[in-house]
Amino acid sequence: MPKKKSKIKRPKAITPKGFRDYFDEDVVNRQGLIESICEIYELYGFEILESSAVETVGALGKFLPDVDRPNQGIFSWQDEENEWLALRYDLTAPLARVYAQHRNDLPVPYRRYSFGPVWRNEKPGPGRFKQFYQCDADTIGAHSTVSDSEMCTMLASIFETIGFSKDQYTIHLNNRKILDGVLEEIGILNNSDSDRYKETRGIVLRSIDKIDRLGHRGVRDLLGLGRLDDSGDVTEGAMLSENQIDLIMKFISLNESSNKRTLEELQYLVGKSSIGLLGIKELELIVELTEAAGYLEDRIKINPGIVRGLGYYTGPVFEADLNMKALNSDSTSSEIGSVAGGGRYDDLVKRFTGQEVPATGLSIGIDRLGFALNQLDKKQETKRNGPVIVTIMDMEKILEYQKIVIELRSSGIRAELFLGNPKDLGKQLKYADQRNSKLAIIAGSQEFEKGNVQIKDLELGSRISSTIKTNQEWKGQPAQTEVSRNDLVEHIKKLIIT
Q: What is the pLDDT of residue 479?
A: 74
Name the nearest CA neighbour of 88 among 107, 115, 112: 115
3-state SS of 148-182 is HHHHHHHHHHHHHHHCCCHHHEEEEEEEHHHHHHH
- Fold for the domain defined by 388-497: Rossmann fold (3.40.50)
Give SS3 for 190: coil
Give SS3 for 307: coil
Q: What is the pLDDT of residue 70?
A: 41
84-87 vs 54-56, strand pairing mode: antiparallel
Element (H, E) at 318: strand 316-327
Instruction: List Cβ neighbours of 216 (8 Å cut-off, separation of 6 or more).
Output: 249, 253
CB atoms near residue 300 (< 10 Å): 26
> Which superfamily, per CATH, for 24-373?
Bira Bifunctional Protein; Domain 2 (3.30.930.10)
Name the nearest CA neighbour of 212 among 365, 312, 322: 322
Question: Can you give the residue ranges of every domain in the chain?
Answer: 24-373, 388-497
Q: What is the pLDDT of residue 250?
A: 86
Contact 100, 352 (CB under 8 A): yes
Q: What is the pLDDT of residue 14?
A: 94
Name the nearest CA neighbour of 239 among 219, 224, 228: 224
Q: Report, as ranges of residue numbers, the positions in the chain whose pLDDT lies below 50.
A: 69-70, 378-381
CA 22, 28, 29, 32 torsion-angle sign: positive
Cα angle 130, 133, 136; round to 5: 130
3-state SS of 361-417 is EEEEEHHHHHHHHCCCCCCCCCCCCECEEECCCCHHHHHHHHHHHHHHHHCCCCEEE
Q: What is the pLDDT of residue 468?
A: 59
CA max distance for the chain: 95
Partners of 169 in beta bridges:
322
Q: What is the pLDDT of residue 408?
A: 93
Contact 75, 86 (CB under 8 A): yes
Name the nearest CA neighbour of 171 among 266, 73, 287: 287
